[in-house]
Structure 1
Amino acid sequence: MEGHLYEQLYNHILQEINKGQMKAGDRVSSEKELAERFGVSRITSKKALEKLAEAGVIKRIQGKGSFVADGVREGLDHKRQSEERPSLVFDEKERPLIGFIISNFSDEFGLQLLRSIEKQSAELNYDLIIKRSRGNRDEEKRAIQLLVSLGIKGLIVTPIHGEHYNAELLRLVLDKFPVVLVDRYLKGIPVCSVYTDNKKAAEDLTLHLIGRGHDKIAYLSPPEVNTSTLEERLLGYTLAFTQEGLKLNQDYCLTNLKGILPKNLGGTEIDNDKKAIEHFLEQYPDVKAFVASEFLVATLLTQVIHSLGKSLDEYDIVCFDSLNDYLGKPIFTHIQQDEKRMGKEAVDLLVSQLIGEAVPEQRIIEHRLVVKE
């Protein structure tokens, strides 16, 4: 049943009416009864009943339930449903639109998330429109305005890095437009968000290095201001030292690397980052362990180490969302985020809003620590 979701349930009820098993005025099973009977979610059964009501097949009476509409049997005579190949009787063009705005995506993070959101949207019979903001606030604003003008019913968005929230996004949230944030949240803003526990994840990475005997551990990251993901990762790094009773040296926190931000990729900022990392390595030669907030930061660090003629074997580098090498082994010990689950949950929570169900403000997705051999 879940393969076609509400279409099969929709068609099954039509067939019962068409065969005379249900007549005008007969009560149709409730959302809960249909969900239990066919082993589907309440979202699926509710959507099937809504579509039947929209098509005039049933009437939904507040507090009483759903009933077969008068004269519907005659209207269905020329639309006999094929039991071998169930199909929707409403126009395919009526499939509602939802939007997804992502700052950027790559093999290490974002691509699996995008695939998962597209797959789950299709399974729930929503058409998905995707826009990439490239980390640019104006592009994000234009994307929101464009998608709303195209008639999207709801929006999934990964907000860009930055000190200020996008006014267009805040306006949607305040207007109670269905929105789900993915991979981060907005502090103080009541909006449904799906993300990894980045504080715990960064703590796990740092404790891993401490467990390997390091007490001088640096942290490398883009500016964390007003980006929940990066703020939480920095906090997790610092909490690991407190937990182990170690002193944290604030000078070991290099958090102004801007070259890997989506809006700066391919620009001159990357050269400034390399110089900053090179200066750090020369200033603190005893620091041999690094927590990198992102995979690109870790790769940038290794490039600088190599350019200085140093051996990578001297260093312990951990990060988030590492790729594998040509043998299929992880390049770095890393936190692996569950992008597939994150994407599916984001779509499910958006659809729940669309059908009027209450949703939590936070949905935490489990991560796992993958240790390089």
Structure 2
Amino acid sequence: YHIPDILLGIEQECKKLGCNLIIQDTCNEQEMENVLIRKFKNENILGMIIYPTCHEFFNDEIMRLKLDNFPFVIVDQYWSQLDAHFVHSDNKKGTYEATKHLIEAGHREIGLLYDIDWNANNTRNRIEGYEQCLIDNAIPVRKDYLFDTTLNTARLPLGIENDVIESMMDFITSNNQITAYLCSSMLFLEAIKRLGIKLGEDLSAIFVDDSFLAKHYNPALTVIRQQNQEMGRRAFDILLNWGKLQEKNVVLDTELIVRESVGRLHS
């Protein structure tokens, strides 16, 4: 849901200056990413804003951009091994605050549903925030409360998507002591619907990132909102002022938007 908002932020800045924005989709394939980087590098462009493929390490073409001092910015990702410009969210802080909100609502058995293949570094930061909050509140960290769908659900054929939903259903029913979840996938909503579970009453959940669906779902979803348009704007500003800005790692705050998907647990 957040990629269109990042693009909107970039597009708004381009329009102000009369710049043309060229968009290419890598389909989350690293080889396609390499091909497109080589292609754009040979064209007369201001620079590249790269939403990288979802791998733990950057690819060779990104390193070549750095070695050639070609203007580029990485958005929604951070690699400490690469000395480059990054604009991304404080995912650790976001899940820390979300977990704290669940604890304050009386929940102590809290699960985390994530997709490590979608963005490994962001997922790792979210897990760290979740676990740190549990530790700070004297709640045991249980690795068996973490569920990895292992699939990029944004591009799944219907049959495989159904497999993910069914695996979520199995996890939820096998862990009925869990009263609340942090979720990176909206497929969770379909899973609990099939199980006849009422969100906000039988089970609570907080979702990563805001969307039109989150606002208008019944009940409205509590979310960790990211500054996606600002991410795009800041990335464009770095390209526009290439070589002038000292700050390389721009970390944007997240905001917990409290709606109706978290119920208070009464002891």
| TM-score with structure 2 setting the length | 0.88
Q: 1:305 aligns with which of 177, 180, 192?
A: 192
Q: 1:348 aligns with which of 234, 237, 240?
A: 237
User: What is the match of residue 54 of structure 2?
Assistant: 161
Shift in Å, 1:328? 4.9
Shift in Å, 1:136? 1.4
Does 2:216 match 1:363? no
Rounded to whole Å, the distance in 1 between the matches of 2:214 and 2:146 is 32
Q: 1:281 aligns with which of 161, 172, 176?
A: 172
Rounded to whole Å, the distance in 2 between the matches of 1:259 and 1:124 is 36
Q: Secondary structure at the match of 1:146?
A: helix
Does 2:231 match 1:338? no
| Contact 1:258–1:269 (Cα < 8 Å) also in 2 | no
Task: Give the 5 Å matches for 1:193-272.
Answer: 193-223=86-116, 227-260=120-153, 262=154, 264-266=155-157, 268-272=159-163
Instruction: Report 1 or 2 for greater relative contact order, CA contacts < 8 Å, sequence distance ≥ 6.
Output: 2
Unaligned 5+ residue runs, structure 1? 1-107
The ranges of structure 1 where at least 4 consecutive aligned residues each deviate by more than 6 angstroms after the TM superposition are none
Q: Deviations over 1:101-135 (max 9, x none)?
A: xxxxxxx3121211110111232343221111121
Task: Give the 5 Å matches for 1:64-103.
Answer: none
Shift in Å, 1:337? 1.0
Q: Secondary structure at the match of 1:129?
A: coil
Shift in Å, 1:342? 1.3
Amino acid at match of 1:217: I
User: What is the match of residue 208 of structure 2?
Assistant: 320
Q: Deviations over 1:313-345 (max 9, x none)?
A: 311110111324597578311111112221111
| TM-score with structure 1 setting the length | 0.65
Amino acid at match of 1:364: V
Q: Secondary structure at the match of 1:128?
A: coil
Amino acid at match of 1:291: L
Q: Taking every aligned residue pair, what percent have the same amino acid on both sides?
A: 26
Unaligned 5+ residue runs, structure 2? 261-267
Q: Deviations over 1:3-31 (max 9, x none)?
A: xxxxxxxxxxxxxxxxxxxxxxxxxxxxx
Structure 1 156/256 Cα, relative in aligned 2: closer, same or farther at 3 Å? same
Give the structure with higher Rg (CA): 1
Amino acid at match of 1:288: T
Rounded to whole Å, the distance in 1 between the matches of 2:82 and 2:225 is 27
Structure 1 327/118 Cα, relative in aligned 2: closer, same or farther at 3 Å? closer
Amino acid at match of 2:209: D
Structure 1 271/212 Cα, relative in aligned 2: closer, same or farther at 3 Å? same
User: What is the match of residue 133 of structure 1?
Assistant: 26
Shift in Å, 1:283? 1.3
